[in-house]
Amino acid sequence: MNALIKKCLLLCAAICFSLHGNALVTLRAEDLPKIRKDVVYGHKDGMALTLDVFEPEANRKGIGLMFMVSGGWVSTWMPPAQMSNFFKPLLDEGYTIIAVRHGSSPKYVIPEIVEDVRKALDLVNKQSEEWKIDKSKIGVFGFSAGGHLSLMLGTTANDKKRGPRIAAVAAVFPPTDLAPYKTPGNPRMDQFPALKFDSNRNDEFSPLRQVTMVDAPTLLVHGDKDELVPISHSENIKEAFEKAQVPCDLVVIKGAAHGFNDEGNRVMFESMRDWFKKHLDNRQSESNGE
């Protein structure tokens, strides 16, 4: 398994363990939410692009949260029942979770990967009635590369008067400007092959360069000792959001690198939960006007 994806999955497990102490235990069948497994949202090179939908058993809010399954722009599959444990705190809040898998690096590069998650958003909108989701109350969240993809949706999906919209974003240590990683001779280019696309398109796929006043309210969580994705990535886009008068908050985890300890994970999760409550739970529905 790719080392970055393994780290992402271990991070998910660590978060889950710090929240309710049983990250490595698959939920019992009777405790599992309703799961729509391997829903196909597109095809490429003869392969299916899939997502899983996790539906809350109680307190259903009609709110969908898309989770970007991505580490180093590599996406992988794990048993949905096992993933349910990670999502349990959000499911218990009444949110519907949509875990999106995209075409992975090194075969695919960032422009193709962004197109995948946009297709996933298209399907979520089309299926919103069946999945009992208010399509004007869709949020997105992710870690690292998953945070980058979350921000790409949050800074571009709201540009059209009609069509898919993102109402809130939570991005954890996200790369927001790709240009610094693509300088000649930069070893990150070999470490993350998804970066090997036409550099003339860097701005197009850097959330920092896509910020406008119609973007989704965005929460950023970052460690101040992160060397892989320096905290300046979050600080700079926060400044851009503020200039565009887009609601934004940056939660800094002191002493943390690219990954948090139990306390950092707890602060991160509670901040995300509170952000979604603030910007989705009480949001006035606009679905009838779409």
pLDDT tens digits, one per residue of 228-277: 999 999 999 999 999 999 999 999 999 999 999 999 999 999 999 999 99
For the segment 16-22, the average pLDDT, to the nearest whole number, is 43
Query: What 8-state DSSP symbol labels residue 24?
Result: T
- Write out pLDDT tens, residues 82-117: 888 889 889 999 999 999 999 999 999 999 999 999
Q: Identify the pLDDT of residue 160.
A: 60
What is the full DSSP assignment across 48-106? Answer: EEEEEEEE-SSS--S-EEEEEE-BTTB-----HHHHHHHHHHHHHTT-EEEEEE-PPTT
Q: How many CB atoms lie within 10 A of CB 25?
A: 12
The domain total for the chain is 1
Q: Identify the pLDDT of residue 57.
A: 86
Q: Is 132:96 a contact under the CB 8 Å cutoff? A: yes
Q: Identify the pLDDT of residue 8.
A: 53
Strand order across the 138-143 sheet: 34-44, 47-55, 96-101, 64-69, 138-143, 168-172, 218-223, 248-253
User: Is the pLDDT reported for residue 17 higher than 50?
Assistant: no
Strands 96-101 and 47-55: antiparallel
> Can you give the pTM of this predicted structure?
0.91
Confidence of residue 81 (pLDDT cuts 50, 70, 90): confident
Q: Identify the pLDDT of residue 21.
A: 45
Q: Identify the pLDDT of residue 83.
A: 87
Q: Identify the pLDDT of residue 18.
A: 44
What is the CATH number for 63?
Answer: 3.40.50.1820
Q: Identify the pLDDT of residue 1.
A: 40
pLDDT above 70: percentage of residues in the chain: 86
Q: Collect all residues with Cβ–Cβ distance below 8 Å to 55 and sequence separation of at least 6.
A: 33, 34, 35, 36, 91, 96, 131, 132
Q: Identify the pLDDT of residue 22.
A: 45
Confidence of residue 284 (pLDDT cuts 50, 70, 90): confident
Burial 173-182 (b: 16+ CB within 10 A, else e): bbbbbbeebe
Identify the domain containing residue 240 by its residue range. Answer: 3-289
